[in-house]
Amino acid sequence: MNSYEIERHVKTEELKAILQSHKAWLEDGSGKKADLSHANLSGAKLSGVNLSEADLSFANLVLADLSGANLRFADLSEANLSGAYVGLADLGGDDLIETNLRGANLRGANLSGANLIFADLSGANLRFADLRDANLRSARLNGAYLLKADLRGAELKDAELRKTNLLKADLRGAELHDTDLSEAYLGGTYLDEDYLN
Rounded to whole angstroms, the Cα distance separating 144 from 161 reads: 8
Radius of gyration, CA atoms only, the chain: 17
Phi-psi region of 58 (alpha: psi -120 to 50; beta: other; left: phi over 0): left
Average confidence (pLDDT) over 32-55 = 97
Q: Determine what percent of the chain is predicted with pLDDT higher than 90.
A: 93
Give pLDDT, residue 27: 96
**Residue 121 CA to chain centroid, in angstroms?**
8
Task: Check pLDDT > 80 for residue 25.
Answer: yes
Among candidate residues 197, 117, 131, 113, the one with its CA nearest the CA of residue 170: 131
The count of residues in the chain is 197
What is the model's pTM? 0.92
Give pLDDT, residue 194: 73
Give pLDDT, residue 196: 55
Q: Could you tell me the pLDDT band of residue 7, with boundaries at 50, 70 and 90?
A: confident
Rounded to whole angstroms, the Cα distance separating 181 from 160 reads: 7
Give pLDDT, residue 142: 98
Task: Check pLDDT > 50 for residue 17.
Answer: yes
Give pLDDT, residue 26: 97
Tell me the β-bridge partners of 35: 55
Q: Could you tell me the pLDDT band of residue 94, with boundaries at 50, 70 and 90?
A: very high
Q: What would the pLDDT profile of 128-154 be if each residue is shown by its tens digit?
A: 999 999 999 999 999 999 999 999 999
CA dist 173 to 37, 108, 132, 153, 180, Å? Answer: 35, 21, 10, 5, 17
Angle value at C-alpha 122, between 138 and 57, nearest 5 degrees = 70
